[in-house]
Amino acid sequence: MADTICEEFTRELSLNLVDLRSQVQLTYWSKQHFITQELLDLIPFGEILSDIRFYSYVNYSLDELVSKANSTLLYWRLSGVVQYDRTPINQLSLFYNETFLWHYCAPSYWEEICLQIQLGHRVRFLSQFLLSQTEIEVEFNKIQLQTNFDNDFQFVYTDSNTYQYKFANLRWQPIHTILLFPLINPPSFSLPITVPNTLGRETDYQAYLNQVQGLPNNIHIQEHYWDSVNSTPANTLATTHVNTPSTGSDTNYWTPTNFQLASPTPESGSTNSTHSCVCGTDICYCDT
């Protein structure tokens, strides 16, 4: 009976199921191998995210992510799939595939990534997605640059932004944010893997890289882009004072395209002159 209900539900909502075991851009932890294609499409593992792509995702896609996650949760309940201890599936953790990101995708965009970071733009990637009966969590890390002994750059990555959605309060909130790291030679960082582990799936990795490269160029920042932004944040994003790192679940998120006048600060080299800035999460415009 449960199988019949599940099949009818899947058919009526036109849900396409995807086997996670076939996805080379991610790894997963769960006995449940299937999620909906609609949810997978909103989890950009394996992509390199520029400021534009990241902020667009946070501002416009998080509400839709909740909707598609709810459909997947309902599918789990109706399908009756259980864990190893025979209890119902209640959690899914997805992680980025290190081999694909660091040995296929990132190298193919090496020059563009380095250029954008040197110009002061942040470059991110989705590192983790968590779905449970009580919450959704998405974590993004920053790709940054470290100089080596030959004065060449190498990729490193640091903590950046994690957003958590609690079904109990229907609100997205950050649980960890670091805003002050320099983009080149950050004080703390992690090194990517140096040896790929393709497990004989080189053809699959290359095919998915071709798919990613067929997407619009999400790394290039067009000149004067921010001057033309007229952004409406997601309905479930709360706002608070700008440039305030998260200290816990009670700290709300200030969307990047909302600005507020910061306190005047002394102008460099002067004890009397002051200037003011308008600041968002990752960018400030000052009158000097």
Identify the band that residue 267 occupies on the pLDDT scale cut at 50, 70 and 90.
Answer: very low
Comparing 229 with 242, the larger pLDDT belongs to 229
Whether 241 shows a pLDDT value over 70: the answer reads no
Q: Which parts of 7-152 are beta strand (E)? A: 17-19, 26-29, 34-36, 91-96, 123-132, 135-147
189/144 Cα distance (integer angstroms): 9
Spatial distance between the Cα atoms of 55 and 50, rounded to a whole number of angstroms? 8
Query: Distance between CA 36 and CA 41 in Å, rounded?
Result: 9
Nearest CA-CA partner of 173 in 135, 130, 132, 133: 135
Q: Which residue has the higher pLDDT, 287 or 280?
A: 287
Q: Are 54 and 126 in contact (CB under 8 A)?
A: no
What's the whole-number average pLDDT of the chain?
77
The pLDDT of 14-18, averaged and rounded, is: 78
DSSP 3-state helix, strand, coil percentages of the chain (rounded to 5)?
A: 30, 25, 45
- State residue 137's pLDDT score: 96
Contact 112, 104 (CB under 8 A): no
Identify the pLDDT of residue 74. Answer: 85
State the pLDDT confidence band at 208, using cuts at 50, 70 and 90.
very high
Lowest mean pLDDT among 86-100, 200-214, 226-240, 256-270: 256-270
- Give the whole-angstrom CA distance, residue 197 versus residue 99: 6
Task: Check: pTM over 0.85? Answer yes or no.
Answer: no
Is 70 exceeded by the pLDDT of residue 266?
no
